[in-house]
Amino acid sequence: MSVHKKAIKRVTTHVLSEMKLKGEKISMLTSYDYSMAKLVDEAGIDVILVGDSASNVMSGNETTLPITLDQMIYHGTSVVKAANRALVVVDMPFGTYQGNSKEALSSAIRIMKETAADAIKLEGGKEIIESVDRILSAGIPVMGHLGLMPQSIHKYGTYTVRAKQDEEAAKLIADAQLLEAAGCFAIVLEKIPAELGQKVAESVKIPIIGIGAGSGVDGQVLVIHDMLGITQEFSPRFLRRYHNLAAEIKGAVGSYIEDVKAVSFPNEREQY
């Protein structure tokens, strides 16, 4: 008698839209490699973001700007191999879409063809709408990103909360509506007042996923290295650490070193 595995229902952009309609919150985390993505996917996450934050947590850069398209494709390919359920979104890195919509489309096509990801994400509103339109015209799903935009950190000069003033808040709402009208399936809002986050979520029909945007949005995203306590230097108000893996890993490595030095590893059962 043959046994058939129950098919895993994949999360799609349509599923995310339905989740917003039902009031079901969307869970999203970053991953950058096969092993971590496999664990995150098996745990039941809705969306995996292959974030350009890999520049920080995987490569040790101070900002997200140095990471290249080839590097993002490498990380994206590794993650997609592990994801059986989650929707996989790959960040378009700095310099691959700003100011040149043809280059933006070419970059997006490379990501989709070479990684087999489900969607791409880019930062900005009105300033990049031509690139958004061109990418969407090719049938590539686009997730937007507004509020604090790390790729523009040198313009801001600080990682402080964005859109606290009325003018910037009004622009953010207008940009969110513009991205929705263009055809984006969701938007990430980073580090803005909670009241504004809820206002944006209520002003558009597409899912709004927050990172430091309060609880009134449609879902939440965190960088997995921050959430698991692998990184310790980064401690913004919006970050909740669900574990302290840094201490556990250091402890395990320390025990391994002691056992090697004492010749208690390997023991008789661990040898051939």
Q: What is the pLDDT at residue 4?
A: 43
Which one, of 64, 141, 190, lies nearest residue 132 by Cα?
A: 141
Mean pLDDT by 10 residues, the chain (272 residues): 57 98 98 98 98 97 97 98 98 96 98 98 97 98 96 85 95 98 98 98 98 98 98 92 97 98 97 96
Whole-angstrom distance, CA of residue 204 vs CA of residue 183: 12
Three-state SS for 209? strand
Kindly give, in sequence order, each residue whose CB lies less than 8 Å from that of residue 18, ignoring residues fewer than 6 positions away.
Answer: none
Which one, of 105, 162, 166, 153, lies nearest residue 132 by Cα?
A: 105
DSSP assignments along 93-149, one per residue: PTTSSTT-HHHHHHHHHHHHHHH--SEEE---SGGGHHHHHHHHHTT--EEEEEES-
Q: What is the separation of C-alpha 130 from the centre of its chain, rounded to a whole number of angstroms?
A: 23
- Are 189 and 121 in contact, with CB atoms under 8 Å apart? no
Q: DSSP state, 50?
A: E
- Are 172 and 193 in contact, with CB atoms under 8 Å apart? no
Q: Where are the beta strands (DSSP E) in the chain?
A: 26-30, 47-50, 87-91, 119-121, 142-147, 186-190, 208-211, 219-222
Q: Give yes or no: 190 in active site.
A: yes
**Phi and psi torsions of 227, nearest 5°:** -65, -35
Maximum Cα–Cα distance across the chain: 71
Percent helix, strand, coil in the chain, to 5, is: 45, 15, 40
Which one, of 37, 65, 39, lies nearest residue 52 by Cα?
A: 65
- Are 181 and 133 in contact, with CB atoms under 8 Å apart? no
Q: What is the pLDDT at residue 7?
A: 60
Query: Which listed residue (24, 180, 190, 268) is catalytic?
Result: 190
Whole-angstrom distance, CA of residue 215 vs CA of residue 209: 10
**Tokens coding 72:** 């993002």
Q: What is the pLDDT at residue 233?
A: 87
Which one, of 95, 91, 94, 140, lies nearest residue 113 by Cα?
A: 140
Q: What is the pLDDT at residue 158?
A: 81
